[in-house]
Structures are given as structure tokens and as C-alpha cells.
Amino acid sequence: MISIKDIASLINGELNGDPDFIIKGACNLQNGKKHHITFLDSPKFTKFIDGTCASAIIIRNDYIIKDSNKIFIKVKNPRIAFAKVLEKFKNNEILEPKISDSSFIDKTAKLGKNIYIGNNVVIKKNANIEDNVVIESGSVIFENCNIGYNTYIGPNVTLNYDTKIGSNVHIDAGCVLGADGFGWSTLDKKQKKIPQIGNVVINDDVWIGANCCIDRSTFESTIIGKGTKMDNLIQIGHNVIIGKNCLISGSTAIGGSTVIGDNVTIAGQVGIIDNLNIGDNSIIAAKSGVFKSFKSGSFISGIPAKNHNDRKRQEVLITKLPDLNKRIKNIENFLNNKDQIVD
């Protein structure tokens, strides 16, 4: 529990209401609860204010408060402010530094201070684990891996050899980083495996959701740029380079040797073939199939993916095709001296 004045101080907001009112938790606007706080960041949701049972609402600075029994806190960005509030109520288990007796740690591995290593963790030769790292149960860290400061490795994660993880990285359960890249060549109608001798590099402040796979490169590095956030169930092929501060939604697959620029947003279930370039600040809509490169600032959608505005214009024209077909038939009938007119 926390007083509303303390929440207002936390998010640097302007409080309108009883400063000593106690907040017990956070909720959404539509299904609010008494003594809980929610947020409103879009005018289209103002209709829910009177009906919600939430006691306090975080709103934008420019929102005009009408007669209401609610407590309001005005901020510049309600969504970001609410995220700070959620951190206060998040049920985080505090993991005290320890090394489980059931773990196996090679004698050549280097371990930093204040680390947590769960049950049945395996850390192999010459691995380097920096300070404040958490490695949950069942994870395997192969030879020559590096895990940077304050990084979290979830349960049953595999880091194959030479994988390099930066600081403040979060890798959720079931991820495999550094698996063999999908490199094959056909010889006499048989598939010949091309050895993959590179590695995977994850830069600082990256978030990788559950059950993602990032393949190691053929020669150099498959790279995830600083600040990029990845959802669950994402496949990143060998030699891929993803820039800084990208957002990649679930069930997306990116083919080998493709380069994704900085600040690119990729929605869910997108497929991108190999050896493409997607420019900085681009947006790829959900379920798009990308078969060619796009310049910076592109907004693309569909299968095959095209400029979104071009696609919308084409779809409008497609709806006119039946009428155009009738008109063409009428012209043909007129030219052929036929009396039949198509309705």
C-alpha cells in the first residue's frame, strides 16, 4: 500500500484530491477497483471515467477535470508514469546472491560479485559472469561466453559458445542463443552443411522474450543492437544485424544476413527473407511478407510487402474492378453492334 501523494511524487505529477488516500494496487480503466489507480492517455477512453471503480486516475496535463469523485494526477505522459507505478506493485521475488549446490561450474569460469545461480545450471570453460547477474535453473552457458553486469538469464536458457551478452539484458525462459545457423549448399542433389563458426552478440539494454532463437553467424557475429526489445517466439537467422532501439513483436522470423536499421518497428507474425536491408525508422505491419529491401522511414504492409499508402490506393482500385468490367463489356457490345447491355 502507498499513499496517493507518494505516487504523485514518484511520477512527478500534479495531485488533485486527498493526499493521504491509500492506494492498494493498479488496475485498468474499464474494470477498475476501489483503492486502485489506473491511467487515461487517450480522449476516446474518457467515457469510462464515471463508470470505473478505480479511485485514482493518472491523466495528461491538458485534461480538463470535470465534477468527479475521483482523485487525479496530471502528468506529461500517463502511460510512462503508470509504468513507474506498476513497478511499485510488481511482485518481484528478491533473489539473494547464491550458487546452488546442484549447479556445475567449470574451474576456469570467472564469477563476479552478488550473483545468483539456480539449480542445475551448467557453466562451461572460460565463461565470464559479471557482477549482479541472475542465471535461473536449468540454463547452460557454453565455453567462452560473457554475461554482462546486471543481466537476467531466465530458466532453461542456452547460450552456445562465444555468445556475448551486454549489461542490463533480460533473456526470458527457453531462449537459445548461438545455435548453428541454417547454412546448407546443394551438391549432387544432396544437402551439404556449411559450418557456422561465428557467434551472437547482444548489446546493452536488450530484452528478449521467451522461446526466442538467435542463430550464430557463419563467420563474424549475429548482432542485436542496444536497447532493442523482442517479444516471444522470434527467430533471428545467421548473420542478421538488428539496429538500436527496435521493437519486434512475437512470431516474427528474419532470414539470414538481413540488416534491420535503428528504431524499426516490426509487428507480429512478420516474415522477412534473407539478404535484405530495412532502413532506419521503418514500420512493418502485422503478417507482412517482406521480399525486397526498403529505404529509411518506410511504412510497409501486406504479402508481398509494399508501401502501405500504395497498397491502400491499389485496394481502392480493386473494389472498382467489377464496375470497370461491366463498362468494358458494354463498350465491346456497342462496338460489335450488339443490343445487349450489361447491368
As annotated, the active-site residues are 238
- For residue 249, the 8-state DSSP code is -
DSSP run (H or E) holding 325: helix 321-335
Q: Report DSSP letters for 294-314, one per residue.
A: B-TT-EEETTTTEEHHHHHHH
Those residues with Cβ within 8 angstroms of residue 25's Cβ, 6 or more apart along the chain or in another chain:
33, 35, 36, 37, 89
How far apart are the C-alpha atoms of 268 and 93, rounded to whole Å? 30
Please give the single-letter amino acid code of residue 124: K
318-327 in b/e form (b: 16+ CB < 10 A) is eeeeeeeeee
Give me the count of residues in the chain: 343
